[in-house]
Amino acid sequence: MRNRHLPPGFGEQTSSKNNSLLRTSGPDEKQLNGTLALGVRSETGSRNDSFGNGTSSKTNSLPHTSGPDEKQLNGALVPGFRNESGSRNDSSQSARMSVDKLLGGLLAPGFDERSCSSRYQSFLFRKTSLYKPSSYLLSKLRRYEDLHKRCGPHTKSYSKAFKRLKSSHGSGGGCKYLVWVPVNGLGNRMMSLVSTFLYALLTDRVLLVELGNDMLRLFCEPFPNSSWILPKHFPIEGQFHSADLRHDRGYGNLLKSGIINESTESLPSYVFLNLDHTKYDLDRLSFHCNQNPSLLRKVPWLFLISDQYFVPSFFLTSTFKQEMQRLFPEKETVFHHLARYLFHPSNEVWGLITRFYQAYLADADERIGLQIRIFNTTTSPVEIVLDQLLKCTQKENLLPRVDTKHPLATSTKTRRSKVILVTSLYTTFYENISNTYWAKPTVTGEVIRVYQPSHEESQRFGDNMHNIKAWAEMYLLSLSDVLVTSAWSTFGYVAQGLGGRKPWILYKADKGHTPNPSCVRDLSMEPCFHFPRNHDCKTKTKINVGSLFPYLKYCEDLNWGVKLVSEHQKL
């Protein structure tokens, strides 16, 4: 086993022998086509530095920047920064940068930049999005921010609503709340949280999130002058993770049993919406069929549990369809806009992202992200998936072929460089690809470098540091120019949505055979809704949900899932 050394910005955080944040080759670093390979030893920090620069995980953050004219991050020129000096168009460039900094108006100005560096620095690390948010979405976000400030935790309105929660009924007016309860992995959580926030926008509810210990230190607060975190010691917190208790107070069960109906004078103070993918489907049927929407609007507190991206369902109901079309005239931009609005890496995570990017990715002519997820190594052996990955990248000309006849690389002063970012629980893919480009030059003369930030071997539920690494890797993937992702993987969905990319999807290998074809270009950058309703809510007959509207199609990686696409895409 080769020695492993940590890059600037990443380091060992747990006692697990497999838990490293960079796969490196140690003192005998490989040369890949004439370029120093992955794992260059940092000369500025000790091998035992927590993040490669002597800082601890609790205090690690980027230096404060003074705004759009800040050119240095950790002493390195920010990649892609527009040089303003000496230009006759300084004023127009400055205005353009101001717009980019706020992501086309998605973000509100006025946050303390020191507390969350990523909020106003993210535009420096990626190209300006081709997709512009609608003016209606921007106005809706500003109105929501005012609502959250007025009704969020530690306000008089919240105190009144809190008292109503502890009572036996929910009569009366005032602020209403939608509490998101996390389940499953981080990718599922982020997709369901975007869906939940959208539901809050559509119904004028205040979103609060119940963040367990495994989601601490991941995200900045998204709303100005308020918090989205559900206060600790919440009265019914014990019910969040008890399926039986949640189902008893579930919306579908309350409707079916007749406990609540349109004639009910005193509604309960809270109701659960169990929208996670389990055998319990009463709430899903009631919610996605939009049963008694006016009744649901009157309940002061809704607690929503989901591991799905259920945004497409809002286009399928008459109550929300028109509003959704006004908010998102470009249908495939829902996650792209809302995820960039909601999810800002904390200073700790942003430090990991920016140091890794600057050390290994910034100077490449092209960045290629490979996200490989294997759900079952018995039905999808690692060797089969590796063969599939290589066939896909070669067939689609994503990676150059190696020159098997000439051992020396072509000597040229203008050699292009490509960086391959591998994200996987396993090291096999990194090792094979890096060995391939180390052993032989490319036929194109391009320099190839290969990096893998971590290799955890297995998904670790309930592990905060595991989620911190996962979030950093999702974000790094989203900075890629080209993406290859795995079928069914929510990890890949988040990366493609944040980055505004249509990836090549590796089909799910099954029964030990390499799929043919090995991959396919995705229809849109939107995540796939894995388990939509497949019947008509009125007639109860089965429907072809993937053909109801031009902007709703069956997913390429899951033939019963659906996703939003552009109405004008080429077939």
**Amino acid at site 39:** G
Domain ranges for the chain:
135-329
State the pLDDT at residue 524.
Answer: 97
pLDDT at 50: 32
Residues 6+ apart with CB under 8 A from 538: none
Q: How far is residue 566's CA from residue 550's CA, in Å, rounded to a whole number?
A: 8
pLDDT at residue number 535: 86
Q: Burial of 63 by CB count in 10 Å (0-12 exposed, 13-18 middle, 19+ buried)?
A: exposed
In this structure, are residues 308 and 526 in contact, taking their beta carbons and an 8 Å threshold?
Answer: no
- pLDDT value at position 366? 96
Three-state SS string over 29-68 comes to CCEECCEECCCCCCCCCCCCCCCCCCCCCCCCCCCCCCCC
Per-residue tokens: 189 = 């959580």
pLDDT of residue 21: 40
227 CB neighbour count, 10 Å cutoff: 15
- Would you call 492 helix, strand, or coil by DSSP? helix
Distance CA 423, CA 366 (A): 17
The model's pTM: 0.84
pLDDT number for residue 141: 98
Say if CB 47 and CB 5 are below 8 A apart. Answer: yes
C-alpha 170/C-alpha 155 separation (Å) is 19
pLDDT tens for each residue of 517-550:
999 999 999 999 999 988 888 888 888 889 889 9
- Intervals of the chain under pLDDT 50: 1-88, 570-571
Q: Which pLDDT does position 68 carry in this prediction?
A: 33
